[in-house]
Structure 1
């Protein structure tokens, strides 16, 4: 039917979005609900019931459009998840990806395997953000659980279909998954005492992972029997939704700011590159819907730092963004930025005028990203444009800071809801509307290095 729509659900750090798009890839309606993370005694987490309630609220925001949905794709933040058994999801708290619980688990892994071996096995740094660190902490601190581990996207798919599923790029965020081999590392799981649990098999984004069940239809208001897929980790899915391709560097500006480049794992020896010391946190993951891979640089968390700074300064975000537009400032250093991401605001930042502190922080992030992009281009051999995507594009001050440092042509994605759009596009693959990467085009705005944003729109074929 020509009036059918695709639904992309984005389970983000700050909000949950349900985006209905048509056959041309255009958003027809969107529902939004806040992600119900709360700060508690041990850190930041949410309950499974609160998550499901927020998803239900976001879908309800579509109104009558929900009845026209022909397929559903779910994208989500990585790392955060739960265990599901025959009775349903456990009552384990859903620990936020940026929560630092599990640092001791990471130290155990490093002692057992060494950093370079963990990188070789998993394509990523050993970090507390990984699922195994969070799950290990929970099971050692008074929580019990059994069943199959999957992420919050998988839990939402279970609620809709009754099927337990996982997707490749989200499995890669577990800290115990080899993205090249496509399998979980039993030795890592065994070393942490997690091998008695099941881990949902990782499948390619766009695969039909279940049909919307009668209970799922009653809960969501979506039609029974339609295909549901997991679209993947939010950053890779945002690349799809914004029209990014394998010739570019994609800079995803948001709570986290990964830089994305294509990665060719042509042989086992080349599959897991040796990380240069200055590169920081590099991650190999799947290019959603395909057999290819992407490399992400994941050191920066601008949204966290700016949130901490905003609270410390006691300013309104929109006001400080406006007042900082024409302020010149020296960029903060990477160590200063990393401290701010942990909530530690340097004294010299706090003593500056608010607009100067804000401008210096954005200049610092632009400088750090520009240096990382240069290294990534050399590592991956990418010579194409730089594509800016994500919610951070709403900050004119941040975009202009990036343009001052640009060495390659820069484009800005017109699509602001890239993750939910990408999830909907992959739902179209599950529904048979199109083949992977034969999606309706996305629009971009070309920008000139060293100048302000120009109005205009270019179509990406």
Structure 2
């Protein structure tokens, strides 16, 4: 029916968004609530009850639009999750993915298997942000065990439907999942004493996992009987929502700046290329939502963190320094300097520069680093199309112009700013039978042939 809408829920680190879209893929209304993470005695976490209240608040913020929802898709941050039993979630806190707990768990894994073997088994580096690092810490510190583990998106689907499930790109953030075989690694789990847990089955995004139960309807305010799916991890889902496709390199400019390409796991010769994976550093394999294909994500860059740290060190206003740096000629900072800045260590040579030059040099450095990584990503994939820029970093004219000067392929800019929640809604449309995967309503993009077209595209904003 013409009045029916799809709901995409984005469980983000800072906020929860409930985006209602129509059959043309257009957002009709967005409800927002803060994500209830808070610093506690052991670190940053939230309770399941607080999460449920926040989700309910975001849906309620839609007002009467909630009555028109006919399918739901849930995307979320990775890693964070809990254990669910027959009587409901346990008392495990939902530990933030960026919380420092679990470092010793990772050290044990590396000692047992070796860093390269873990990368081979899981498609990613061993890191403390993984679910098994957080879960291992919790169980060793007196929290309950026994039951089924799933992430916060799976927890939300359980609250809607009573069904226990997980999705492949989110399962990949656990640290014990092989994204190519789509199976959990029992040896890694056993080494940490986590193999006695049930791990919710990882399904393809867009799968109809269940329907809103009468209890789920009373809680959420949505109608009972509508299908619910897990859309996936926020980075891959944001690619879908912004209109990215398998022919493009997608550059997600934000706090983190993952570069994304489609990857065919059946082409093993690509693994023999010199860029795989040592010369690319934080290279991650995950699922392309709704399909049997995979994504490669290069995740070394955290420009939002570096710029935030630099802004504090320079004691400048963000808008003012962005404007001042527009016409400044600057040499790019090297990658080691950028990584140090991400960790809060601003090199003395950077602080010695005039503020606008330090800012411009940082943006030039990130543009150079991503351009180099894009060349390598294209070499190990079959991607030959344009580069699509997405994310909040598009507000920085100076940054985008630095990218355009280095571009070796056509560049376009995505207009969608709520890409994750829109992508979740599009995958809800798959679960609801509105369209097949990758046959979504298009998202608007603007070709960028040079600095002039960029200025026109954003209306001359600095």
Same fold (TM over 0.5): yes
Question: What is residue 204 of structure 1 aligned with on the other side?
Answer: 204
1:451 to partner: Cα distance: 5.2
Question: What is residue 104 of structure 2 aligned with on the other side?
Answer: 104
1:267 to partner: Cα distance: 6.0
1:275 to partner: Cα distance: 3.1
Summarize the alignment of residues 116-131 of structure 1 with structure 2, pairs less than 5 Å apart: 116-131=116-131
Give the TM-score taking structure 2 as reference length: 0.93
Query: Are 1:86 and 2:106 counterparts?
Result: no
Q: Aligned with 1:404: secondary structure?
A: helix
Q: Which deviates more, 354-363 or 4-13?
A: 354-363
Return closer, same or farther for 1:157/1:311 CA change in 2, 3 Å cut-off. Answer: farther
Question: What is residue 386 of structure 1 aligned with on the other side?
Answer: 387
Return closer, same or farther for 1:352/1:52 CA change in 2, 3 Å cut-off. Answer: farther
Question: What is residue 157 of structure 1 aligned with on the other side?
Answer: 157
1:90 to partner: Cα distance: 2.5
Question: What is residue 241 of structure 2 aligned with on the other side?
Answer: 241
Return closer, same or farther for 1:310/1:113 CA change in 2, 3 Å cut-off. Answer: same
Question: What is residue 426 of structure 2 aligned with on the other side?
Answer: 425
Question: What is residue 399 of structure 1 aligned with on the other side?
Answer: 400
1:139 to partner: Cα distance: 2.0
1:351 to partner: Cα distance: 4.7
C-alpha distance in 2 between matches for 1:28 and 1:270: 43
Summarize the alignment of residues 264-343 of structure 1 with structure 2, pairs less than 5 Å apart: 264-266=264-266, 275-343=276-344
Q: Which deviates more, 110-119 or 279-288?
A: 110-119
1:450 to partner: Cα distance: 5.8
Query: Are 1:225 and 2:225 counterparts?
Result: yes
Q: Aligned with 2:31: secondary structure?
A: strand
Maintained 8 Å contact 1:214/1:224? yes
Give the TM-score taking structure 1 as reference length: 0.93
C-alpha distance in 2 between matches for 1:270 and 1:409: 24
1:454 to partner: Cα distance: 4.8
1:125 to partner: Cα distance: 1.4
Q: Which deviates more, 141-150 or 362-371?
A: 141-150
1:328 to partner: Cα distance: 3.2
Q: Aligned with 1:9: secondary structure?
A: strand
Q: Aligned with 2:365: secondary structure?
A: helix
Return closer, same or farther for 1:327/1:47 CA change in 2, 3 Å cut-off. Answer: farther
Question: What is residue 20 of structure 1 aligned with on the other side?
Answer: 20
C-alpha distance in 2 between matches for 1:328 and 1:267: 43
Return closer, same or farther for 1:24/1:382 CA change in 2, 3 Å cut-off. Answer: same
User: Residue by residue, what CA displacement relative to the aligned partner does 1:295-352 show, whole Å, maximum 9, x if unpaired?
Assistant: 1111112223333334444444334333333333332222222223233333444454
Maintained 8 Å contact 1:120/1:272? no
Question: What is residue 30 of structure 2 aligned with on the other side?
Answer: 30
User: Residue by residue, what CA displacement relative to the aligned partner does 1:170-203 show, whole Å, maximum 9, x if unpaired?
Assistant: 0011110011111100000001111111111000
Question: What is residue 65 of structure 2 aligned with on the other side?
Answer: 65
User: Residue by residue, what CA displacement relative to the aligned partner does 1:38-66 show, whole Å, maximum 9, x if unpaired?
Assistant: 33444333232222222222212211101
C-alpha distance in 2 between matches for 1:357 and 1:214: 57
Return closer, same or farther for 1:344/1:450 CA change in 2, 3 Å cut-off. Answer: same
Question: What is residue 360 of structure 2 aligned with on the other side?
Answer: 359
1:140 to partner: Cα distance: 2.2
Aligned length, in residue pairs:
457
Maintained 8 Å contact 2:397/2:455? no
Return closer, same or farther for 1:453/1:338 CA change in 2, 3 Å cut-off. Answer: same
C-alpha distance in 2 between matches for 1:96 and 1:72: 24
Return closer, same or farther for 1:192/1:208 CA change in 2, 3 Å cut-off. Answer: same
Question: What is residue 147 of structure 2 aligned with on the other side?
Answer: 147
Q: Aligned with 1:365: secondary structure?
A: helix
User: Residue by residue, what CA displacement relative to the aligned partner does 1:226-246 show, whole Å, maximum 9, x if unpaired?
Assistant: 111000011111111111111
Return closer, same or farther for 1:339/1:435 CA change in 2, 3 Å cut-off. Answer: same
Return closer, same or farther for 1:36/1:402 CA change in 2, 3 Å cut-off. Answer: farther
C-alpha distance in 2 between matches for 1:415 and 1:3: 22
Q: Which deviates more, 284-293 or 94-103?
A: 94-103
Q: Which deviates more, 36-45 or 111-120?
A: 36-45
C-alpha distance in 2 between matches for 1:167 and 1:410: 31
Query: Are 1:434 and 2:450 counterparts?
Result: no
Q: Aligned with 1:154: secondary structure?
A: helix
C-alpha distance in 2 between matches for 1:401 and 1:49: 45
Return closer, same or farther for 1:4/1:270 CA change in 2, 3 Å cut-off. Answer: same
C-alpha distance in 1 between matches for 2:338 and 2:88: 41
C-alpha distance in 2 between matches for 1:52 and 1:285: 27
User: Residue by residue, what CA displacement relative to the aligned partner does 1:111-143 show, whole Å, maximum 9, x if unpaired?
Assistant: 111122212211111122211112112222343
Task: Give me the CA root mean square deviation.
Answer: 2.2
Gapped regions of structure 2 (runs ≥ 5): none
Maintained 8 Å contact 2:243/2:443? yes
